[in-house]
Amino acid sequence: MISTFNDREKGFEAKFKLDQETEFRIAARRNKLLGLWLAEKLGLNKSEINDFVASVIASDLEEPGDEDVVRKCMASIQERGADISDDHIRDKIIKFTEEAQRQVVDKE
């Protein structure tokens, strides 16, 4: 009986770990899509795009939630003098989360 509980616990731990990894991949993919979209909107040249996208992805590691990504995007928008609101960024985060989820789930 104890073996059964141990097996169930290990199964739950493995599922939790897999779910966390999937969520991380979805968030990273979403941030990549957001970074690519924003790079185009900001008119970045090809040599700047990869570094910019990487910085958007990395910004999500600063704190839980999406506010760190929104702050990073808004700082870049203000730096470039673009006319994109934080509400527009939040809407894109929702859209790109859905797209990233489809892309990640389809790969598995």
Q: What is the C-alpha separation between 104 and 89, in angstroms, rounded?
A: 21
pTM of the model: 0.84
Q: What is the C-alpha separation between 31 and 17, in angstroms, rounded?
A: 21
Mean pLDDT of 11-29: 83
Q: Which amino acid makes up residue 82? A: A
C-alpha count within 13 angstroms, C-beta hemisphere, residue 18: 9
Residue-wise pLDDT tens digits, 48-98? 999 999 999 999 988 888 999 999 999 999 999 999 999 999 999 999 999
| List of domains in the chain | 2-107 (1.10.790.20)
Q: What is the C-alpha separation between 50 and 56, in angstroms, rounded?
A: 10
- Which positions ≥6 away from 12 have C-beta within 8 Å? none
